[in-house]
C-alpha cells in the first residue's frame, strides 16, 4: 500500500509539474506501481495475505467469545480449554 501511495504522489508531482519530480524520467515516476504489483503478487503467492487475515479473524473471534463469556458471568478460559488461574 505504501508503494501505491508513493506512486500516486509521484504521479501527481509529475502532472502538476512540482519542482524535482518534473525533471525525472517516467520510468522513475511509475516504478512504485510496478513495485506494488510485485509486492501483491508475492503476498498472494507466499500466503502472507491469507495468514494475516486468518490471524486477525482469530483474534476477533477470541475477543468476541471472551466478551460473551464475561456477559454471562462465566470465567474466561485460555485457548487450550483450561480455566485461567492467578499465580500467587
Whether 70 is in a domain gets the answer: no
What pLDDT shows up at residue 76? Answer: 82
What pLDDT shows up at residue 78? Answer: 66
Cβ–Cβ under 8 Å, residues 10 and 22: no
Overall number of domains in the chain:
1
Whether 76 is in a domain gets the answer: no
Whether 25 is in a domain gets the answer: yes
Q: What is the rounded CA–CA span in Å between residue 64 and residue 76?
A: 11
**Mean pLDDT per 10-residue segment, the chain (88 residues):** 96 95 96 96 92 95 94 79 54
Residue for grid cell 466478551? 67
Helix ranges (H only) for the chain are 2-15, 19-22, 26-46, 48-72
What pLDDT shows up at residue 37? Answer: 97
Amino acid at each position: 500500500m505504501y508503494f501505491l501511495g508513493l506512486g500516486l504522489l509521484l504521479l501527481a508531482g509529475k502532472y502538476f509539474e512540482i519542482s524535482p519530480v518534473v525533471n525525472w524520467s517516467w520510468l522513475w515516476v511509475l516504478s512504485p506501481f510496478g513495485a506494488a504489483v510485485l509486492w501483491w503478487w508475492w503476498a498472494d503467492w507466499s500466503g502472507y495475505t491469507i495468514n494475516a487475515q486468518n490471524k486477525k479473524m482469530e483474534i476477533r473471534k477470541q475477543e468476541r467469545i471472551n466478551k460473551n463469556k464475561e456477559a454471562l458471568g462465566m470465567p474466561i478460559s485460555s485457548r487450550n480449554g483450561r480455566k485461567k488461574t492467578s499465580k500467587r
